[in-house]
Structure 1
């Protein structure tokens, strides 16, 4: 079931955020994610967070900022490739006419996932913090 995040579940969401970032971005130091954990936890509630919850367990989430920017889509490592990410994206497509995001070019699994869902690469740039190449990808209704 997809629903808005309850603030009491923020620690569950942040656990997924950390585990997925470390695994998906093995080209970035693990310490980068650990050092940014507290900042993300503080600003996360400012986004619209939709969670995928099953049996009272959060298995994934998506964060939308400014009614169009996907700040992050994360599915717990043990539930990846089970359709949860697709369900979260499709839910957002029902609510918004435009969606955009930034994704690391080396995160090939994510780039292909977004392409499969109709996103197109519009910009290639260097991330200021990590110095890694990332794509800005856009989907329009």
Structure 2
């Protein structure tokens, strides 16, 4: 199920944010992600966030206006359609979206 972010989701999505960034960006020193953790944690509730939940949070996407700030899916749930479901969901509720890819 995809739903809007709740304040009680913050710890779960931050854990997912950190683990996913460290894993996906092995060319960036892990210290970078850890040193920005608190700053990102403060910013998260200001974004528009949708979570994919199946007994626990398996993924989430964050938007700043119509800019897709990120799509994150836990390692064990990748390649199971969760990222696509999140993207399809936000495409269905936004006329225009912008994404930058590294």
Q: Same fold (TM over 0.5)?
A: yes
Paired residue for 1:19? 19
Which segments of structure 1 move beyond 4 Å, counting only runs of 4 or more? none
Q: How many residues align?
A: 102
Q: TM-score, normalised by structure 2?
A: 0.97
Q: How does 1:50-129 map to 2 (within 5 A)?
A: 50-55=50-55, 57-66=56-65, 68-104=66-102
Unaligned 5+ segments in structure 2 are: none
Q: Secondary structure at the match of 1:81?
A: coil
Report how far residue 9 of structure 1 moved: 1.3
Q: Higher Cα Rg: structure 1 or 2?
A: 1
The structure with the largest helix share of the pair is 2
Report how far residue 54 of structure 1 moved: 0.5
Paired residue for 1:40? 40
Report how far residue 102 of structure 1 moved: 2.0
Paired residue for 1:136? none
The structure with the largest strand share of the pair is 1
Quick one: distance in 2 between partners of 1:43 and 1:59? 20
Quick one: distance in 1 between partners of 2:29 and 2:97? 28
Unaligned 5+ segments in structure 1 are: 105-141
